[in-house]
Structure 1
């Protein structure tokens, strides 16, 4: 079976990890934590990094650090992995979900202003599948209305929007280093910010609410959302190779795009808009109708290919359905139900990508309408 994604460790991961084991610095203190925080922030054009246990806890810390709580509203896209919406709800706030654009697959800037109320305290932008949202337009709206923006960059590290690095627009940005991400620490995340006051709040809440000046004196009810030194060691080694990883992934994306985008009128490959220089996370295709997706995924699985359906719109999930109708979010519903992801591991050979493309094209040609 060709997996949907698998991590690749061919740098200094083993050496740095053994350094942690040999020195005994294996928990949430050690030299790799600070090195990873500062290096990742610098590569993302941000001055401050606060490493976390995963991206979900990073999002929670960002919201808590802004004081988000009961009675507040946070605007989010309807088509995203559910983590940011869950963290809004965990704060006691209300997620206000907005449909996506049909081309960027990110939150639609044209729909934001109408959903802003006196209760709106933040907006979470998700950069989906390696493509950025239109941050220039979004920031114009939110700056004018004094609404802080949190960027979820889990799937798009180092992507560019109008030449600026994703994650450097808002007050904070959150990243994932899960095993299926472009770079990994196994589990792990980080919050980036430009604001030293937010850094203090982030670190305080992350470390059990402990005072930064008086050890073991707790000034707020906090959390244990820390990254371990071993995770940071792996992350630093991955970060050293990120340029090479992104180049390799770009080549894979081009192979998929050249084969699939022009190979059939029965599917489309993930679009790219002119303002964006994306990164390649998952190869994603969209079929003519939703009924085809399960059949194609079954065909791929029967031939040793691990494809995956796209996530469901948030408003179709049990916790957040709240009487919403698919016709209220037509783009998210359509893209979600018709799209699937193809294997995209960095270790895939060109021959394997060709094999996957051949299977897809043969099937859609035989079953296309």
Structure 2
């Protein structure tokens, strides 16, 4: 309760005393108490969503329009998209192995981990060690340098060269190398599996044994001779060696019996058949070969500059704006923090009706974008709704 006669030197309650004195007195002569309020009448602002249109679509589960709206923002503001990290694109701390680690360094000087705790700076679980005194020793080496021994740690001229010994007495040296791939590696096909594949009998002896139609539509061959064999060219001043024709080469191979048409037993030249064997190493490529992915081909061709892609995207956005018309203005406001009411007012609706009309304007603009742009269309499986019994 405020005193009627405050100290003249204490001015901390001056505003409260003036507020009490300014109140009218009651008929009984007693002053009524009133809560003292601050001089300003500011009220807390109403919470507003950061992206109202997107969060409204997410709340409704309208993933088709949600995908198209994000696509429009990524095209209008190139580089604003959030890229998820690739599966193998890890941090250097994950892909690089450094030895010795923190625990190995402290264990080398006699410190022992006794517990774990959460470090409030990084919110990570770290070890708690039991410290132990360790006195370094110094001595000269054969190169007139200084070797410092601190527990199991050996420093030569200030550089760590050894941090322990293995069970067999080998020196453990500090290393920094790429971490090995996680998981086991594929052992590959064994020789027995390769032989089993080679001994398989095909369903057809040869593709040439396939029977044609019994009643062909035409007597002409279905596939013509689109490639004419190269003729023989005699040596000339431009080419002193000339060129061996394709027909002459085939005739020579047939004469020697190495074109595959003559069985091995009837070769004109004496030959010895060796036992079948497998070539060691990865030279054997028999079996089903996987096709080369398109990513490797495009990567070999090189990646276009980033500014070229942005210029092409902005040019395509201008093309879409010409076809979208007033829908483009709605989409531009829908990717900001504008509410549905503000979008409705901007499109000419009355303030009382704009809040109800705004969501339908946004949906209509997104549908127009999906109809024009194929990349704004996504395939989404509808969520099954459970109906209570």
Bigger RCO (CA 8 Å, 6+ sep)? 1
Q: TM-score, normalised by structure 2?
A: 0.20
User: TM-score under structure 1 normalisation?
Assistant: 0.21
- More helix per residue: 1
CA radius of gyration, larger in? 2
